[in-house]
Amino acid sequence: MSTQPILSIRDLARRYGAFVACANISFDVWPGEVVAIVGESGSGKTTLLNCISGRMERSSGEVRYRMRDGRFPDLQDLSEAERRFLARTDWGFVHQNPADGLRMRVSAGANVGERLMAIGDRHYGNIRQTAADWLERVEIAAMRIDDKPVSFSGGMRQRLQIARNLVTHPRLIFMDEPTGGLDVSVQARVLDLLRMLVADLGLSVVIVTHDLAVARLLSQRMIVMKSGHVVEQGLTDRVLDDPRHPYTQLLVASIPEN
Amino acid sequence: MTGTDALPAYNFAYLDEQTKRMIRRAILKAIAIPGYQVPFASREMPMPYGWGTGGVQVTASVLGPDDVLKVIDQGADDTTNAVSIRAFFAKVADVATTTKTTEATIIQTRHRIPETPLEAGQILVYQVPIPEPLRFLEPRETETRVMHGLEEYGLMHVKLYEDIAQHGHIATTYAYPVKVEDRYVMDPSPVPKFDNPKMHCSPALQLFGAGREKRIYALPPFTDVVSLDFEDHPFAIQRFEAHCALCDARNVYLDEVVTDDRGGRMFVCSDTDHCETRRTEGHRGTGLPQTEGGETASTSREAAE
Ligand SMILES: Nc1ncnc2c1ncn2[C@@H]1O[C@H](COP(=O)(O)OP(=O)(O)O)[C@@H](O)[C@H]1O
Ligand SMILES: [Mg+2]
C-alpha cells in the first residue's frame, strides 16, 4: 500500500435547509482499500457518498483526491470539465438500482463501450472486443452482447453496471447499496464477483451499505454513521468483533445469526 | 384605408420588424459559433409545426424585396409543402420565385441539398424538426447543454455503435451527425447522408431553423463539416447503381417511383430542377420514350409518396 491516501475527507457537512444530513465527517481512503460506510436507513450515508463523489454539493468541508499525476486538489477547485472527466475515467459509481447507472435502451456492448468512446476510442472492432472481454469477466455470456439490459435479470444488470464502470480501469469506485435491490440468492454471486474484481484490480472503494454482512465481506475498514455523524470507525474485523460505541453494539447484535 | 378592410395588414414577409431583428440576432450569433444551437423566441406562423415554421421564420428574416426564392421538399419544387411555402412568400413579400437552383438567392429546403453546387451569395435555409443530435440517448435538456459545452460527444458514437451492432454497418441514412469546425456536433436535419459532403466548405451560407424547438444554427460559408464515423467503419454516402430514368444522371440522389399500377418502377432524380435542366440540355434517360416529346413521360411524384 502506498503511503499517501487517494481520497481525504475533512469536516464534511451537508445540510438540507436547516436539517443536517451529515456533519463533522473526516476519513481517508488508501490505495487498494475498501471502506464501508454503514448505518441504518436515513443516517446520511447516501448524502455523504454523493458529496464525496461530486454528485452533490457539500455545505462545507474538504474532499481531496490524488490525481494520477500526484496532485491532491480539492474536487471543488477542479473545473466541471475536469470533474466530469475524472468521473468517467478514473472513477466508477455503482448505483443500487442498475437502471440509474445503465442506458436501458442500448445494448450491453454499447453500455460497456460508452466510456471508451467517451475518451476517444474510435475503432468499433476494438471497442466491441473490449466489451466482450468485460462481459465475460462479469460472467455475462458474450452472446448477450447485443441484448438490451431490459431483457436482463436484476443480478445481470448489476454485473453489467459493474463492467461498464470498470472498462476504463478506474482507481476509485463508489458504490451505494450495490446488492440492496437484489434477491438474497443473487446477492452472494454479485458480492463474490465484486470481491474478486476489487482484489484483482487493486481498486479503492467507498461502499455504502446498511448490511453489515456486506461490509464484513468486502471492506477492510468501516465507518459507522448515526444521524449524520460518525460514531465509530476502525478496521472492519475490530468494529464487528469488538464494537465500542453502544449504537454499533446494537447494530452488530441485530445481525441475524448465520 | 384599412378601416373597411377585414384582412389584417401584413408587414413585408409576414413577421413584424421587431421579430425579424430578434431572429437576425439569433442568426448572427449562430453564424459566429458554427454548429451551436441558438435559442430564439419562435413565433406562431400561419401553418402547423412540421410544415417548416422554423425555416419559414429564418427565411422571412433574411428575405429582401430583390431576393429570388426557391422552395424544395424531398428535392422537388412541386410538392404541397414547397408550393404552399413559395405561395406564402410570393403573397406576403411579393418576391420573385423560381424553381431553378442557379437563379435562387434563397433556397428553403426540407430533406435535400440541390445537386447543382451552390455559390457564394446564396443562402440555404433548412427546416429542422429535431435540432438536438444527443436527444436520442439523452432526453434531459440540461444535460445535453452541458455535454455540448464540455464537448462530451461520446454518446454520438454509442448511437453509431448500436447501428453497426444491429445492422453490420452504420445504418443511419439521414440526419447523419456531423462535427462542425472540430467543435460542435450538429444534426444536419433530415437530409440524406448523401448530401452531407455538400455541407462541407460550401460557398453558400447555410441556416437551420427549428420552429417547435425554438433553435437556430448555422454553417457560415467554407465551414468544415465532418461526418462522424469509426476508423474501421468510415463514413460513406449512399451509392446508386441506376442512372436517372429521365435525364440519365449518375452520382445523384435517386428516388424510386411507381410508374403504373402494375408494379412498374423506375429511379429518377430526387432533385426535380436538376433533372429538368439536364433534359433541356438534351440528356435522355432510358425511361423516356425514344421519340421526341419527353414531357409526356414526366412521372407523378405525388403518387409515389
Ligand atoms: N434531497 C433531500 N432533501 C431533504 N432531505 C433529504 C434529501 N435527501 C435526503 N434527505 C434526508 O437526509 C437524511 C439522510 O438521507 P440519506 O443520505 O439518503 O440516508 P441513507 O442513505 O443513510 O439512508 C434523511 O433524513 C433524509 O430524509
Ligand atoms: Mg441510502
| Domain ranges, ordered by start, for chain A | 19-90+170-258, 103-169
Chain A residue numbers with beta carbons less than 8 Å from the beta carbon of B230 are 122-124
Helix H or strand E segment including B255: strand B254-258
ipTM of the complex: 0.92
- Which chain A residues touch B165 with a CB distance below 8 Å? 107, 109-110, 128, 145-146
For residue B142, which residues of chain A lie inside 8 Å, CB to CB? none
Nearest CA to ligand 1 atom 14: A44
For A124, which of B152, B154, B164 is closest by C-beta distance? B164
Distance A176 CA to ligand 2 centre (A): 7
The residue among A31, A37, A102, A113 whose CA lies nearest residue A68 is A31
In sequence order, which residues have a C-beta less than 8 Å from that of residue B80 and are 6 or more positions away?
B73, B302
If we measure between CA atoms, which residue out of B287, B283, B290 comes closest to residue B299?
A: B287
Amino acid at B259: T
Q: Report the atom number in ligand 1 closest to the C-alpha of A19.
A: 5
Rounded Cα gap, residues A135 and A162, in angstroms = 10
User: Whole-prediction pTM value?
Assistant: 0.89
Number of CB pairs, chain A paired with chain B, less than 8 A apart: 56
Fold for A19-90+170-258, please state it: Rossmann fold (3.40.50)
For A8, the 3-state DSSP assignment is strand
Rounded to whole angstroms, what are the CA distances from A250 to A51, A211, A213, A253, B262?
27, 13, 15, 5, 84
How many angstroms is it from A26 CA to the middle of ligand 1? Answer: 19
* Structure confidence by residue, pLDDT tens digits, A64-105: 999 999 999 999 999 999 999 999 999 999 999 999 999 999
Å from CA of A249 to ligand 1 middle: 24
Domain spanning B17-227, CATH architecture? 3-Layer(aba) Sandwich (3.40)
Q: Does A82 touch chain B (CB under 8 A)?
A: no
Are B148 and B187 spatial neighbours (Cβ–Cβ below 8 Å)? no
State the DSSP code for B134.
Answer: T
Name the residue ranges covered by the structural domains of chain B.
17-227, 254-304
Q: For strands B178-180 and B184-186, give the pairing.
A: antiparallel
CA gap A170, A166 in Å, rounded: 6
A134/A159 Cα distance (integer angstroms): 10
pLDDT (mean) for B186-203: 96
Give the whole-angstrom CA distance, residue A188 versus residue A174.
19
User: How many Å is the Cα radius of gyration of chain A?
Assistant: 18
pLDDT tens digit string along B243-256? 999 999 999 999 99
The span from the CA of B176 to the CA of B182, in Å, is 16
A214 neighbors A203 (Cβ within 8 angstroms): no
Does residue A41's CB lie within 6 angstroms of at least one atom of ligand 1?
A: yes
Average pLDDT, chain A: 95
A258 has a pLDDT exceeding 70? no
DSSP label of B75: T
Residues in chain A: 258
Ligand number nearest to the C-alpha of A177 = 2
Q: Which of B137, B166, B231 sits opposite A123 (nearest CB)?
A: B231
pLDDT above 60 for B191: yes
How far is it, in rounded angstroms, from Cα B125 to Cα B112?
11
**Which ligand sits nearest to residue A39's alpha carbon?**
1
Q: Does the beta carbon of A209 lie inside 6 Å of ligand 1?
A: no
Cell of B139: 432526453
- How confident is the model over B265-278, as pLDDT tens digits? 999 999 999 999 99
